[in-house]
Structure 1
Amino acid sequence: MYNVKSKVAEEFIDDAEILSTIEYAQANKNNRQLIESLIERARNCKGLTHREAALLLECEDPGLIEKMFEVAKEIKQKFYGNRIVMFAPLYLSNYCVNGCVYCPYHAKNKTIARRKLTQEEIRQEVIALQDMGHKRLALEAGEHPAMNPIEYILESIKTIYSIKHKNGAIRRVNVNIAATTVENYQKLRDAGIGTYILFQETYHKKNYEALHPSGPKSNYAYHTEAMDRAMEAGIDDVGIGVLYGLNTYRYDFIGLLMHAEHLEATFGVGPHTISVPRLCDADDIDTDDFANTVPDDIFRRIVAVIRIAVPYTGMIVSTRESQASREKVLDIGVSQISGGSHTSVGGYVNKEEFDETTSQFDVSDRRTLDEVVSWLLDLGYIPSFCTACYRAGRTGDRFMSLVKLGQIANCCQPNALMTLKEYLEDYASPETRLKGERMIEAEMQRVPNEKVRCIAVENLERIAKGERDFRF
């Protein structure tokens, strides 16, 4: 049944192909010559197939694993340099009609406080996020046709883009809402969203249906085929991911890469981002009830092999992960992280009241955005608040072609430095500002194009004088 270009979920995510791939990887995991050849071929940054990637993930040889990490670092550096894009989630509503057994928003949970933000409350949340320094948000909402209709989401996006507070502005709104129709995806496209994000949770159909016993999300095919409908509607930046811990990591890792291959083969452009969340505790959810939790060493290998297999994609790690866990995956693959996050409805304005009563999951990394920015600077990364590609129309295949050709750095490096300068001027603590200024001075010399570098230096001076929003 396996057909990478099929529009039928059970054909482009074929169970027999996944099981055969697992069997192949386990049978060849000690084939050192084959594994070494794959690692070397990966250096050309053309990626690997799901079957080849599964073999790398299965390898247990410490020396070969270290080689994988080395190659993942090389690829990450080539495509994304030392830039780390910053964002924050904004939870609009936790009303939900689904029965997902791993999520506290499930309809049968009677202990969680249900909330839905008004447009004025959204305004206050956005101002709080702007006052931290955020420019990029990911909208989150439970699936509830009556409480959270598409009209509410569209109105909320309009509200967010309209708010200009002091020097603050949200320049990109990514959207993570339930699978919907082509017509609704067209409405989201027309509203000016950035990336449409939807996690598969697990690609194993039988386990998926057991984990989603009721509600619209229980329809495996409709959920799995959502990205096809989104791209048919003209949303060319989509983000995929699984929730590691719901099913065996091998199965979902392979399914994830098959999904990426399907999008590339069918639409000519793969996922803009891949997220790697792990299951964590939440209201009435205990991870001890799940048998497939993923240990840290396997998690790090998953990140590295995804970077090797899908070199062009952005990779996201949220505050589900601890500071220590995030630090271990920054250099081998991750290009986006959240900072200062709240997973509660209304938590940016009233965190004491709502973090304990309306959160979707427990946040492991509870540092402020300034603390995260300072930490990244200490590690030698450029915290980037850039949204230039989306606003300049460099999305979908236009963005991917620049990434794959290695040309995106001519835009990304100066844009990252200019947005960091904005953050330092408007929001940073004195200590963070000092570190950031040193970073900008050093990194500006590494901008490869002399003309771009000269313009960027001039723009940095104008930012220091109060002007904002320069981009290449």
Structure 2
Amino acid sequence: MIMSKAEIDRWVSQVIKPEQIERYLVNGHDFIDDSFIQETLLKNKNPDKSRIREIIAKSLELQRLEPEETAALLNCEDEELWEEMYKAGGQIKEKVYGRRIVFFAPLYISNYCVNSCVYCGFRSENDKSIRKQLTMEEVAAEVRALVSKGHKRLIVVFGEHPLSDVHFIAKTLETVYSTKEGRGEIRRCNVNAAPMSIEDLEILRDVGIGTFQVFQETYHHETYKKLHPRGIKANYGWRLYALHRAMEAGVDDVGIGALFGLYDPKFEVMGLLMHTIDLEKRFGGVGPHTISFPRLEPASNTPFTRKSKYLVDDKTFKKLVTVIRLSVPYTGMILTARETPEVRRDIIPVGVTQIDAGSNIGIGAYSTDTVDYDRQQFILGDNRSLDEVIREMAESGRITSFCTADYRCGRTGNYFMDIAKKGKIHHLCMPNAILTFKEYLLDYASEETKKVGEKLIQKELEALPSEALRNTVKEMLTRIEKGERDLFL
């Protein structure tokens, strides 16, 4: 369904509700003050060692940093201090989340899009893009293909287009949750879609959305305007406050992100922090459930992806991720298969909590087992199977988790953030990680992965904090071995 400019403008005017932007403004301004960010970065140039170490110590106490502190970390040029920061990032992650890594898969539903984002393969002007939107039967086929590999958690992704309205998204969620394959099913379905009104988000809340994810891409106002000339995405404010509206609608797990490579990456890290601060200020200390930090990747017929002057190299990327970990120590952090295996091995230890694996971002590509770059938003860097990545994680001492108990037990929003800030979330989540990992080993794993995985389970059982908990988890593992599934604390 190709739309004319007039049709797009008409639809955008119907979707965007200016009053649902204005209600959050302060004296007519949003919370991203470009001048303040630039000045803060400038004022915190050349920080001395003692100050950096004081900031690291604050992060290790699981306290969110202030803009001046994050700016100082970003401006650090001492490689010895960076090594200390890398180490602290890993310590913070383990203190809050333990040795587990949450796994998910992206499922792209539609690449119809009204936007003109110059860096995106989905942009409306890309005449090389083969447009496709899945039917519910095709959605079910994709889900069965994913479940047959062992997946339990998805992020469903939609182009920003009238075809992907809230009712279509709600129907997609219903289809995902109702589709079974053998002993498997999808137990949590997060959504990456166009910003919506509070009223539409209430519909998704009632269907059972997991995390609602909207990335600002770039927080710099002028750059945002240049890179998003047309479409619903052209409205900076509607996008910036998408997750405020979600929180108001009762969708209390939200995910923010910036696309590194569009503007000065230090500015974008500061933008992510300011976004976190504003959410926490307005919603009783509850900020983003996750922060994502994708890098600009090549896309079919999209030359901007290769010529941007803000492309981020691997060494700088590691530093940026580390600063995010230290700045918001209690929030989940997502590193996707955009990155190569080598980069992921280097970045995960500094504080990543979630990754995808066995990913295919073509529309309808899981069930057909195909790769078609002209149906994709960008090109992936890590094409390994789910089993390969799980085995590698186990060999490094990290246990795979498909756990969704927090979501289904109501441990979201304020409840989740409270225990995360206290460094206690892993006390609940590690036992559930062991149980979901056992399911994977029994139902889907290769023999090689089973051997590594069973040893890791025994090690993690012994590390549980009490004999009573250990016995409870052992009893539940026995029940899983006898055929029960979906057991959790």
Q: State TM-score, norm by structure 2.
A: 0.93
Which stretch of structure 1 is more off in the superposition, 335-344 or 355-364?
355-364
Alignment length, in residue pairs?
464
Q: Distance in 2 between matches of 1:202 and 1:79?
A: 28
Q: Distance in 1 between matches of 2:424 and 2:52?
A: 30
| CA displacement, residues 126-169 of structure 1 (integer Å, 9 cap, x when unaligned) | 00000010000001010111x21211111110000001110111
| CA displacement, residues 95-143 of structure 1 (integer Å, 9 cap, x when unaligned) | 0011011101111111110001000000000000000100000010101
Matched, 1:250 2:266: yes
Please show how residues 123-162 of structure 1 align to structure 2 within 5 Å: 123-145=140-162, 147-162=163-178
1:360 matched to which residue of 2?
377
Q: Distance in 2 between matches of 1:203 and 1:104?
A: 21
Q: 1:197 to 1:437 in 2, by over 3 A?
A: same
> Deviation of residue 24 (structure 1)?
1.5
Which of 251, 257, 266 pairs up with 1:241? 257
Matched, 1:388 2:405: yes
| CA displacement, residues 291-329 of structure 1 (integer Å, 9 cap, x when unaligned) | 101111111111111111101100001100011111111
Matched, 1:351 2:369: yes
Which of 193, 205, 210 pairs up with 1:177? 193
> Deviation of residue 15 (structure 1)?
1.3
Matched, 1:12 2:28: no
> Percent of aligned pairs with the same residue?
47
Which stretch of structure 1 is more off in the superposition, 282-291 or 299-308?
282-291
| CA displacement, residues 257-312 of structure 1 (integer Å, 9 cap, x when unaligned) | 00001111110201000001000001112332211011111111111111111011
Please show how residues 137-286 of structure 1 align to structure 2 within 5 Å: 137-145=154-162, 147-268=163-284, 269-286=286-303
Which of 76, 92, 96 pairs up with 2:109? 92
Q: Distance in 2 between matches of 1:166 and 1:450?
A: 34
User: What is the aligned-residue RMSD (CA, Å)?
Assistant: 1.3
Q: Distance in 1 between matches of 2:321 and 2:229?
A: 30
Q: State TM-score, norm by structure 1.
A: 0.96
1:439 matched to which residue of 2?
456
| CA displacement, residues 18-39 of structure 1 (integer Å, 9 cap, x when unaligned) | 111111122xx24222222222
Which of 317, 325, 328 pairs up with 2:335? 317
1:397 matched to which residue of 2?
414
2:40 matched to which residue of 1?
21
Q: Distance in 2 between matches of 1:333 and 1:460?
A: 29
Counterpart code for 1:274: I
Q: Distance in 2 between matches of 1:178 and 1:308?
A: 29
Secondary structure, counterpart of 1:103 in structure 2: coil
Q: Distance in 2 between matches of 1:436 and 1:30?
A: 44
Q: Is the 8 A contact 2:266 2:320 kept in 1?
A: no
> Deviation of residue 6 (structure 1)?
5.2
2:471 matched to which residue of 1?
454
Counterpart code for 2:83: E
Counterpart code for 1:332: V
Q: Distance in 1 between matches of 2:327 and 2:401?
A: 25
2:325 matched to which residue of 1?
307
1:339 matched to which residue of 2?
357
| CA displacement, residues 346-401 of structure 1 (integer Å, 9 cap, x when unaligned) | 0101232x523311110110001011111111111101111110011000010111
Structure 1 stretches lacking a partner, 5+ long = none
2:307 matched to which residue of 1?
289
Counterpart code for 2:117: C
